[in-house]
Each structure stands twice: as C-alpha cells, then as structure tokens.
C-alpha cells in the first residue's frame, strides 16, 4: 500500500512537470533553457527560502523573455507555470524564486547594449539585467554618473527599480525610481511595451516599485549628471539621539549641504573605534584615541561631500562651515578623502572580506522600515533601548529622507502623512547552526518583536523590501492603495504569472509550497 502511494505521488509529480518541460523545449529562442542546473536559482542572498524551479531561462534577447511569458500566458490556468525574473540574486525572502516555474536569469540578457547619451540632459540606456557597478564605470568614461544609488552596487537595474533603490543621496535626488525616464517592459501577457511619463504612463508608474508584479524590466533609461572625482568622507558620533536626529533633519533641509547623509546605531560595543574608524584618520588623534564608548548606545552620522581637484579649497570651507553647526561629540571627527568609485563601491570591500571568512553566504534576515519623523523617537526609545540589547551581527542604519522626492504615482509604499520619514534598516547576518544572539531564530524573533511594537504603538510604519505571507497582510501594507495595486495586476498580469515569490497573488490552480532552510 505504501509503495503504491509513493508510486502514485511520483507519477503525479512527473505528469505535472514532464509536459511543461516538453512544451518549453519546443520554443524557438536565441538563448536557452536549463532544466538540470537549476539549484542556484532556488537560493538568494537572504538564504532562508529555497524554492526549486522547473527551468532557468538564459535569454539572449528581449524576445526570448516575451516568447516564454506569452507561451505560459496562452497556456492559461491549465498550467501551474509561473515566471520570476532573477538579477544578481540579492532578494531576501525568496522574492525572485518560482517553485516549479521558470526563473529568468536577467544577467544573461546582454541586449540592448549600454548606450550613453551626453548633452544638456544626459542619460544612459541599459539592460534590466545590467549591474549598477558596470553603469558607474562606463558612465564615468564620459564624466557622468547616475544621481541616486543603493549602498551596494552589485545589483541589477531591474531588481532595484522593482523596489525603489535607496541610499544616502535619496534625500536630495529621491530613490532610483525617481530618476528613470523610460522603461521597456514585458508584461504578464508577454507583450513588449515601451513606457514613460508620456507614453503608457500607468504601466510606467506601476512597474516602478511594483515588486515585479506587472512586468519584467528589460531596458531602462536613467538620468545622469556630471560626476565628481573626489569624496570627502566623514564620520562623527553622538550619544544624544535627539541631537543626532535634529542634525540629520537640518542637513537634509539645508540649501547648501552634504551630498550624502546616512547614520547608524552602535549598541553596547566596547573597543568601538577599532572597528568603525579603520579607514579614517581622526581630526584630533590624541583626543580620538582616548574616546571610550563605555557600553553606551551611540549614533554615528556619516557624511560625504563630492568635489573635483580644482574645488578642493572651496569644498573644505563648506565642510568646515557645515560641521561647525552640528552637535556631535567633538573628539570623534573622522575624515578621509577617497575617489568617487571607492566611496560608492565601499560595501564591496566588506563583501570581499566576509567571503574570505565564509561569512557572506549565510542567512540574512534583514528588516527594513520606513518610519514617520514624528514617531522616530518613540521607536528608538523602545527598540534601541529595550528590544536590541546589543548591536546585531551587521549594521543598523538610520537616516531621514524627503517625501517630496518620491513620486506617489509609483507602486512603492511609504508613510503617507509627513514630509520627512526615516529609513531604519537592521542588516543582520545569522551564523548557521548558532543558538545564540547571532543565530537565525533569535534574529527572526527580534524582528517580530520590533514589528509587533510598531503595530501596537500605531507608528504608521511601512516595510521597505516588504515580506508578507498572506494577502490580508499585503492589503494592510498597501492600505488605501490596495485597490489600485490589485486593479493594475488584473490589467498587466491577470493570471498572476509574474513574481510568485512575493506571495501577493496566487496563480489559479497552482500550489505554492514554501520551504525554509
């Protein structure tokens, strides 16, 4: 009886998958499908969920993607196949995975080739699978660069634009989705559509920050500006959270200010300066060397001023004036001058070090929150004072941005009522098999406590890079914008073929099995 049951289950699985494999093999493509080497597509940077796809598509052209999606669309609900676009694999919760579906390896898409258009309003046309670090290197050859970045540049264009793309420049230029002129998108019906603010406007705004729900970004036209050569990189410490936030908020509103403004939290760390100042020269070596954290919670303000060699004197004067109006602990001023590329690609240096120690490909149970300005002190008092007893195994970022730099027509969800809100990011790395404070279970429990506090205290917090498991939770996340989001889904991906790993919509007649490692 048991053998019969096992044989029946095996037979059902073969019948479910085998016709799909055969049918996909009939498609005439420039690229190719891989049905054997698919395990890498069931992993991501989060390293928590593992959903095995049926096939991985390595496209050579946009038509490869369109043909595949259209074919699955035309199969209708008789097929359980879904499609996920995978960039450099830096999703956190399996968002770019497709259980028993097709994962599209966007980095295989080499067309269109990157083209840079200098002039009065410069821009660059790039493939959705292009890495931002490559865009930086190529645009710099023309003395240009994108305006807005993420802290880590080894991410694909399509990946960050499907979320928002936020870093310390966002207060001034907005997120990356605020600096896009045009997109080419493959919808859930397999249609290839060009869209912008002037053409197919609804699709354009739907896709930006749309979590991959409305289309696969195959090309993007990104705004550029003149690139600086040098960065004055500064860090200072605060022990008073009110002063820390007051200075941050003043800096993002000042007319002449820094070009990059971020902050991070350091909780219960001794020997502090040996860690965070390693790439800096203290302004006052004698005083800085004597500074002790004494186990206090400290707040680091990180700043950058961009300039060219002929502007050095003026840049130094501007920095001195700005620093003179801040209230940091005077003995903790650290400054360094680096190239623009070194500054923007700074996280990659940490990646190399962590990889060498085997600490990169570990679970990353990150939690990213957008918090209204009026609630940030309530949040900090409880979270940094009670829930977090020590800094987690990874940085805790905190910095304000201006809502006016975000376009509310896009799909991204931000706190609605206030002009300024904070990004707070808990970028934890878990040590495999650990049962201590650096273990996955402990960090997940800690994240849950933070979210429960935000809800019970009615802080109006929204998740960035959101992760939910039920549609009810997604409805709450989108709030009044849910109806628009769902209506857009019914227009551009009515069968819910795209991005099943987000767990927002479920394809009819398909069964999604979630497995966590």
Domain residue limits, the chain:
115-226, 230-463
Sorting pLDDT into bands at 50, 70 and 90, what band is 290? low
Least confident interval from 57-66, 99-108, 200-209, 431-440: 431-440
Sorting pLDDT into bands at 50, 70 and 90, what band is 284? low
Q: What is the mean pLDDT of residues 62-86?
A: 96
Least confident interval from 221-225, 330-334, 478-482: 330-334
Q: What is the mean pLDDT of residues 380-390?
A: 90
Residue 509 has pLDDT above 70, yes or no: no
pLDDT, residue 184, reads 98
Please state, in angstroms and rounded to a whole number, the distance separating the CA atoms of residues 197 and 378.
39
345 is catalytic: no
pLDDT, residue 264, reads 93
Q: What is the mean pLDDT of residues 472-497?
A: 97
Q: What is the mean pLDDT of residues 346-373?
A: 93
Look up residue 417 and give its two tokens. 């009522």
Residue 468 has pLDDT above 50, yes or no: yes
pLDDT, residue 13, reads 41
Residue 304 has pLDDT above 90, yes or no: yes
Sorting pLDDT into bands at 50, 70 and 90, what band is 303? very high
Which of 325, 330, 467, 446 minimizes the C-alpha distance to 388?
Answer: 446
Q: What is the mean pLDDT of residues 84-89?
A: 97
Sorting pLDDT into bands at 50, 70 and 90, what band is 115? very high
Which fold would CATH assign to domain 115-226?
3.30.465
pLDDT, residue 285, reads 55
Sorting pLDDT into bands at 50, 70 and 90, what band is 350? confident
Least confident interval from 81-85, 152-156, 274-278: 274-278
Look up residue 6 and give its two tokens. 């096992």
Which residue of the set 44, 80, 90, 493 is catalytic? 90
* Other CB atoms within 10 A of residue 475 CB: 16
Least confident interval from 223-237, 344-358, 364-378: 344-358
Q: Identify which has the larger pLDDT, 384 or 391.
A: 384
151 is catalytic: yes
Residue 516 has pLDDT above 50, yes or no: no
Q: What is the mean pLDDT of residues 400-419?
A: 96
Please state, in angstroms and rounded to a whole number, the distance separating the CA atoms of residues 486 and 506.
12
pLDDT, residue 394, reads 85
262 is catalytic: yes
Range among 19-28, 281-290, 441-450 with highest mean pLDDT value: 441-450
Sorting pLDDT into bands at 50, 70 and 90, what band is 10? very low
Which residue of the set 262, 302, 345, 493 is catalytic? 262
Least confident interval from 51-65, 121-135, 172-186, 355-369: 355-369
Please state, in angstroms and rounded to a whole number, the distance separating the CA atoms of residues 313 and 320.
11
Q: What is the mean pLDDT of residues 91-117?
A: 95
pLDDT, residue 270, reads 43
Mean pLDDT over each residue of the chain, to the nearest integer: 91
E-assigned strands of 65-159?
Answer: 83-86, 102-105, 115-117, 123-127, 144-146
pTM: 0.92
Q: How many residues does the chain have?
A: 517
Which residue of the set 137, 138, 142, 151 is catalytic? 151
Please state, in angstroms and rounded to a whole number, the distance separating the CA atoms of residues 56 and 65.
11
Contacts of 49 (CB under 8 A, 6+ apart): 93, 94, 97, 501, 514, 515, 516, 517
Residue with tokens 């359980």: 80
Sorting pLDDT into bands at 50, 70 and 90, what band is 291? low
Residue 375 has pLDDT above 50, yes or no: yes
- Looking at domain 230-463, its CATH class is alpha beta
Burial 385-424 (b: 16+ CB within 10 A, else e): eeebeebbbbbbbbbbbbbebbbeebbbbbbeeeebbbbb
Residue with tokens 């402990």: 442
Please state, in angstroms and rounded to a whole number, the distance separating the CA atoms of residues 167 and 341.
15
pLDDT, residue 112, reads 76
pLDDT, residue 423, reads 98
Residue with tokens 């991410």: 155
pLDDT, residue 294, reads 67
Please state, in angstroms and rounded to a whole number, the distance separating the CA atoms of residues 253 and 171.
9
Q: Identify which has the larger pLDDT, 246 or 78.
A: 246
Q: What is the mean pLDDT of residues 466-481?
A: 96
Least confident interval from 228-242, 296-310, 312-326, 428-442: 428-442
Residue 8 has pLDDT above 90, yes or no: no
For residue 387, the 8-state DSSP code is I
123 has which bridge partners? 117, 223
Residue 7 has pLDDT above 70, yes or no: no
pLDDT, residue 286, reads 56
Least confident interval from 162-171, 301-310, 436-445, 485-494: 436-445
Q: How do the residues of the chain divide into helix, strand and coil, expressed in percent and rounded to 5?
A: 40, 20, 40
pLDDT, residue 508, reads 74
């Amino acid at each position: 009886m048991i053998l019969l049951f096992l044989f029946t289950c095996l037979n059902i699985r073969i019948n479910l998958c085998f016709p799909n494999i055969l049918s996909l093999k009939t498609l005439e493509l420039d690229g190719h499908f891989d049905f054997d080497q698919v395990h890498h597509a069931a992993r991501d940077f989060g390293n928590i969920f593992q959903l095995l796809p049926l096939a991985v598509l390595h496209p050579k052209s946009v038509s490869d993607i369109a043909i595949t999606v259209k074919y699955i669309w035309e199969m209708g609900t008789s097929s359980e196949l879904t499609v996920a676009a995978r960039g450099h694999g830096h999703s956190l919760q399996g968002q770019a995975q497709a259980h028993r579906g097709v994962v599209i390896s966007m980095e295989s898409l080499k067309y269109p080739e990157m083209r840079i258009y200098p002039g009065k309003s410069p821009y660059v046309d790039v493939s959705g699978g292009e890495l931002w670090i490559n865009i930086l290197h190529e645009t710099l050859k023309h003395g240009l660069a994108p305006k807005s970045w993420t802290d880590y540049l080894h991410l694909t264009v399509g990946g960050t634009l499907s979320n928002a793309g936020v870093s310390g420049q966002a207060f001034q230029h907005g997120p990356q989705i605020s600096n896009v002129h045009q997109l080419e998108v493959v919808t859930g019906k397999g249609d290839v559509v060009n869209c912008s603010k002037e053409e197919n406007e609804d699709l354009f705004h739907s896709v930006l920050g749309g979590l991959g729900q409305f289309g696969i970004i195959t090309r993007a036209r990104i705004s550029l500006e003149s690139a600086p050569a040098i960065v004055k990189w500064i860090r200072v410490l605060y022990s008073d959270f009110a002063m820390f936030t007051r200075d941050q908020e003043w800096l993002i509103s000042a007319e002449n200010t820094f070009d990059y403004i971020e902050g991070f939290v350091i909780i219960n760390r001794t020997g502090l300066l040996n860690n965070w100042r390693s790439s800096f020269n203290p302004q006052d070596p004698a005083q800085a060397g004597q500074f002790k954290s004494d186990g206090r919670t400290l707040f680091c303000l990180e700043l950058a001023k961009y300039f060219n060699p002929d502007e050095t004197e003026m840049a130094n004067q501007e920095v001195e004036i700005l620093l003179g109006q801040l209230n940091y602990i005077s003995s903790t001023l650290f400054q360094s001058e680096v190239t623009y590329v070194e500054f923007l690609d700074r996280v990659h240096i940490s990646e190399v070090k962590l990889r060498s120690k085997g600490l990169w490909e570990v679970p990353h149970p990150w939690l990213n929150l957008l918090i209204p300005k009026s609630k940030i002190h309530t949040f900090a008092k409880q979270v940094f004072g009670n829930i977090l007893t020590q800094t987690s195994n990874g940085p805790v970022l905190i910095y304000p941005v201006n809502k006016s730099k975000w376009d509310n027509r896009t799909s991204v969800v931000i706190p609605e009522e206030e002009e300024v809100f904070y990004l707070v990011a808990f970028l934890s790395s878990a040590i495999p098999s650990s049962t201590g404070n650096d273990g996955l279970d402990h960090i997940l429990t800690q994240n849950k406590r933070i979210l429960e506090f935000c809800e019970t205290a009615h802080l109006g917090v929204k998740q960035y890079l959101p992760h939910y498991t039920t549609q009810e939770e997604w409805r709450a996340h989108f709030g009044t914008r849910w109806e628009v989001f769902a209506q857009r889904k019914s227009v551009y991906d009515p069968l819910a073929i795209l991005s099943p790993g987000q767990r927002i919509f479920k394809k009819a007649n398909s069964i999604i099995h979630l497995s966590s490692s």
